[in-house]
Amino acid sequence: MSNYSIKNLEEYFQLYRKSVREPENFWEEIAEEHFLWRKRWKRVMRWDFSKPEVTWFEGAKLNITENCLDRHLAIRGEKTAILFEPNDPEEKAQHISYNELHKRVCRFANVLKSQGVKKGDRVCIYLPMIPELAISVLACARIGAIHSVVFAGFSSQALAARINDCDCRTVITSDGSYRGAKTLDLKGIVDQSLKDCKGVKTVLVVNRTGGEVEMVKGRDHWIEPLLEKAKDECKPEIMDAEDPLFILYTSGSTGKPKGMVHSSGGYMVFTAYTFKNIFRYREEDIYWCTADIGWITGHSYIVYGPLANGATTVMFEGVPTYPDHGRFWEVVAKHKVNQFYTAPTAIRALAKESLDYVEKYDLSSIKVLGTVGEPINEEAWNWYNNNIGKNKSPIVDTWWQTETGGIMISPIPYVTPTTPTYATLPFIGVQPALMDDKGNEIKGNQVEGRLCIKFPWPSMARTIWGDHKRYYDTYFSAFKNMYFTGDGAMRNAVGYYRITGRVDDVIIVSGHNLGTAPIEDAINEHQAVSESAIVGFPHEVKGNALYGFVILKEVGEARDRENLKKEINQQIAEHIGPIAKLDKIQFVPGLPKTRSGKIMRRILRKIAANDTSNLGDISTLLNPEVVEEIIKDAQ
Ligand code: WT7
């Protein structure tokens, strides 16, 4: 057990050095001592970033659900695995033990099998944050099917694109979902998508809201009667360490989302090891990550990482503002949560409200606080530290990505001294590099550059589903032999990293990763629009909000333009989801372009941020006169 739980800074540095000098020995020891393998690997790792090709634990056999479920039964069978807290505080929380979870996963797996789902098949899961979401994820993994969870806030068109991209034949959904005071018609959204998804043969429907739904004969089945009939044992499918475990979509620089493919062996080892250390999980602890399982944070740090450690993981169905702004703190007090992991946007939103919402509750159980998803500003960090952590719980500012599978840069609580706004040091085995524009590594401290990773880590994505070339082009072509993250970062005098934000055309809004291209595509489909450009601008709660510059085919009346703004946002909500709506829309006569026709987003960003005193050199523009006109009408 020696290396598994890091006790002090000296040990961290020692292990870090070992993980860099002898990565194979280091990871082999971790993998060997803490996980259940059906067959040992032939080789710990192999890599070639020029292709890119990366394998971990090649030749090994396992099933991740044996690690997350079966092996715990003898020692902690009655311990709560999933603690489900419903949207409505009046509804009772559910404590699902490891024994029960094991049975429910097996039942669900048997239902999938009886519907013809086989190893390697893709299954789309479009569910709210209810236990069946975690159960169906694990059921897929049990039988070797590849799950593709789509966040249940995505629109029917976005869902259809994701179903078709990886050719899912089976979709799991629910009749509806509760979000605060609202009830959403999920099944209706699925029905809408399936008009464009001819390959889907089976829809399994969980009963959550009891709302009326249409069931298509032969295609749609309520899951409950099928589960009742199913056996509660299901032999795990024995998988290769490199077999795909899941696909998760993230937005990119074209309209088409990227299906990041994660494999099972390395992903399991890295998410479990990071979970244990970055949240300092101890056997009796109650751990709560407020993310949705529709994002990578939920995959790695609600489901797989915690369960691989035999942890109790809270699943919360609701929202931070319902029934009031004290909901998070009420849940922390009620379940005596020890580790609390959330996003800066939630912290900023709650920090604006009265402190009474916090002070009403006993938060003394908290030992570790975490944040993820976007840079955390100093003010929010201090509020979190003072009011939630009471200046005694370390904050782990965890930097990572859908593509990295697990946390890459983060303090280890009670080990790494924290500094507000700094994600601090790379986790064991992670080798960051800062690069300049010419492609050279910037060595030394007090420097800033583009953040790359120069050596593979076990949970990195292996490819983009169906498009390996795009995987190479997006992440491995900018800097030779490096994985490029798309983020900028600085390294301070003591070697701590601070993530400064995206340096590509992705904008992080309320912690959600949004590509500008898919939003622009959605706007441009409006019949009145000829062209558009989206940029981010600073927003006190969301971190960034979206500003759209739109060229109309015809100028039209002012009254019509107000309507058009609504229609444009409606169009975006239909194509992507409400999270991608624009805060500001400005109709412009033209967009600043270079002579080669590229939109100069740098200028638009400054206009959106109301910072036009120094626009830099605009003389090289094809149409410099348009800049003045845009500034004149800026909002
Ligand atoms: C992007 C990845 C990984 C879970 C959620 C987001 C930004 C993430 C931090 C942080 C500053 C952060 C980066 C990154 N980001 N965590 N602690 N500090 N920025 O996953 O949707 O794949 O987005 O989120 O820009 O590249 P994702």
Do both 432 and 514 map to the same domain?
A: no
Question: For the segment 383-392, what is each residue's pLDDT rounded down to a tens digit?
Answer: 999 999 999 9
Q: Would residue 134 count as lying in a domain? A: yes
Is residue 563 domain-resident? yes
**Residues present in the chain in total:** 635
Residue ranges of alpha helices (H) inside 186-249 are 186-194, 223-229
- Within a domain: residue 480? no
Query: Do 240 and 298 fall into the same domain?
Result: yes
In a domain, residue 481? The reply is: no
- Between 161 and 622, residue with greater pLDDT: 161
Category of 486 on φ-ψ map: left (φ > 0), alpha (ψ -120 to 50) or beta: left
61 has which bridge partners? Answer: 39, 240
One domain, residues 432 and 521: no
| Same domain assignment for residues 594 and 467 | no
Same domain, 141 and 262: yes
pLDDT above 90 for 471: yes
What's the CATH number where 628 sits?
3.30.300.30
- The reply to whether 382 and 519 lie within a common domain is no
Helices 516-524 and 558-575: angle between axes, nearest 10 degrees: 130
In a domain, 485, yes or no: no
pLDDT at residue 1 greater than cutoff 50: no
Q: Return the minimum-mean-pLDDT range out of 24-33, 164-173, 342-351, 609-618.
A: 609-618
pLDDT band per the 50, 70, 90 thresholds, residue 2: low
Residues 369 and 318 in one domain: yes
pLDDT band at 618; cut points 50, 70, 90: confident
Ligand 1 neighbours (beta carbon < 6 A)? 250, 295-297, 372-375, 397-402, 423, 485-487, 499, 502, 508, 513
Distance 424 CA to ligand 1 centre (A): 15
**DSSP-derived 3-state class of residue 85:** strand
Distance from the alpha carbon of residue 511 to the mean position of ligand 1, in angstroms: 7
Residue 230, token pair as written in the block: 């199913």
Taking CA atoms only, the protein residue closest to ligand 1 atom 20 is: 401
Is residue 441 located within the same domain as residue 512?
no
Domain coverage including residue 627 = 506-634
pLDDT, one tens digit per residue, over 538-580 is: 999 999 999 999 999 987 777 788 999 999 999 999 999 999 9
Q: Judge whether 488 lies within some domain.
A: no
Q: Considering only CA atoms, which of 518, 509, 503 is closest in space to residue 538?
A: 509
Cα of 212 to ligand 1 centre, how many Å?
A: 38
> Does 499 map to a domain?
no
Confidence of residue 590 (pLDDT cuts 50, 70, 90): very high
In this prediction, residues 116-132 reach a mean pLDDT of 98
pLDDT at residue 613 above 90?
no
Q: How large is the angle between the packed helices 156-165 and 558-575, nearest 10 degrees?
A: 40
Mark whether 461 and 526 lie in a shared domain.
Answer: no
User: 477 in a domain, yes or no?
Assistant: no
Domain CATH for 452: 3.40.50.12780
Same domain, 344 and 419: yes
* Closest among 424, 574, 394 to 499, alpha carbons compared: 424
Indicate which atom in ligand 1 lies nearest the CA of residue 502.
25
Report helix, strand or coil for 12.
helix
* Distances from the Cα of 8 to the Cα of 3, 412, 413, 420, 577, angstroms: 11, 9, 10, 20, 44
324 and 389 in a common domain: yes
Both 445 and 530 in one domain: the answer is no
Residues 323-338 have a mean pLDDT of: 98
Average pLDDT, the chain: 96
* Phi/psi at 145 (5° precision): -80, 150
Residue ID of nearest Cα to ligand 1 atom 11: 375
Whole-number Å distance between alpha carbons of 510 and 343: 8
- Please write the tens of the pLDDT for every residue from 94-103: 999 999 999 9
Q: Give the count of domains, the chain.
A: 2
Nearest CA to ligand 1 atom 1: 401
Position 251 scores a pLDDT of: 84
Average pLDDT over residues 173-193: 98
Average pLDDT over residues 453-472: 98
